[in-house]
Amino acid sequence: MDRVPHIEVRDLTMAYGENLIQRDLSFAVNRGDIFIIMGGSGCGKSTLMRHLVGLLYPAKGSILYNGRDFWQSAPEQHEALMRRIGVLYQRGALWSSMTLAENVALPLTEYSTLSPGEIREIVSFKLALVGLAGFEDYYPTELSGGMQKRAALARAMALDPDVLFFDEPSAGLDPISARLLDELIIELRNSLGATIVVVTHELASIFAIGNNSVFLDTDTKTMIATGDPNRLLKESQDPRVIRFLTRGQEQEKDSAGL
């Protein structure tokens, strides 16, 4: 796999006013990674994602895309960078009053000069990529939770982004739907060559799809590990990392009375 940095985070501090969220974050997301942002509840995973996609300004530090400082770029360059990013929000964020086709077409209508016919073709193609061919005229409320997530993913891919961000993609899904979504994420990375960043605390997803990661610690308010989650499980000497990555096994032992 190509290990060229696609996103570089350098000495990043995140805060809401005087409330420190995380400090001294430095890591790289390589091109083609499925990169996991992980850690306990309240550690700042989603806040970090919002910084990476341009929704929150850093209190300190920098974020670089392909070596270009995201927050220090000229306005037109900043906007161009943001258009190369696709985001799947935790609850999908589909417009309930719009059909799936209208939802997926929205970024194309707003940010491209394509004709209505060209947009319809792209919309059908994107929905087909996520297994929703023929569902163009359905409304979000007519779909299952897993199908809604897939539709939201089709919209996130509408502008052919270089980077896709997923915020807790498995939240609210049953185990089978969650596994199918994991498989789709891997398939999209392999077929489209996109870099994918996933915020999640789900161990099954972390180990199934992640090849790189950063671990945010709630107590120290900084990162305490980075790298392949499977390697961290085998090699990390930090009890906080091990406790997080083995909590499912601990729960099984407790249930068995061991």
Is residue 117 in a domain?
A: no
Pairing, β 85-88 against β 5-16: unpaired
Order of strands across the sheet that contains 163-167: 68-69, 60-65, 5-16, 19-30, 222-226, 212-217, 34-39, 195-199, 163-167, 85-88
- Determine if the pTM surpasses 0.95: no
Give the distance, in angstroms, between the CA of residue 104 and the centroid of all CA atoms in the same chain. 18
Location of structure tokens 């392999």? 190
Q: Tally the domains of the chain.
A: 1
Q: What is the pLDDT of residue 84?
A: 86
Is residue 94 in a domain?
A: no
pLDDT category, 92, cuts 50, 70, 90? low
Q: Per-residue pLDDT tens for 34-91?
A: 999 999 888 999 999 999 998 899 999 999 999 989 888 888 887 888 888 888 886 6
- Residue 196, classed as helix, strand or coil, is strand
CB of 218 closer than 8 Å to CB of 68: no
Is residue 159 in a domain?
A: no
- Residue 161, classed as helix, strand or coil, is coil
- Which of 28-32, 139-143, 156-160 bottoms out in mean pLDDT, i.e. has the lowest? 156-160
Pairing, β 68-69 against β 19-30: unpaired
Is residue 125 in a domain?
A: no
Is residue 6 in a domain?
A: yes
Under DSSP, the state recorded for 140 is G
Q: Per-residue pLDDT tens for 226-243?
A: 999 999 999 999 999 999
Q: What is the pLDDT of residue 91?
A: 66
Is residue 191 in a domain?
A: no
Domain range for residue 217? 1-84+205-258
Is residue 168 in a domain?
A: no
Mean pLDDT of the chain: 88
* Over residues 10-24, mean pLDDT: 95
List the CATH number of the domain containing 227: 3.40.50.300
Is residue 104 in a domain?
A: no
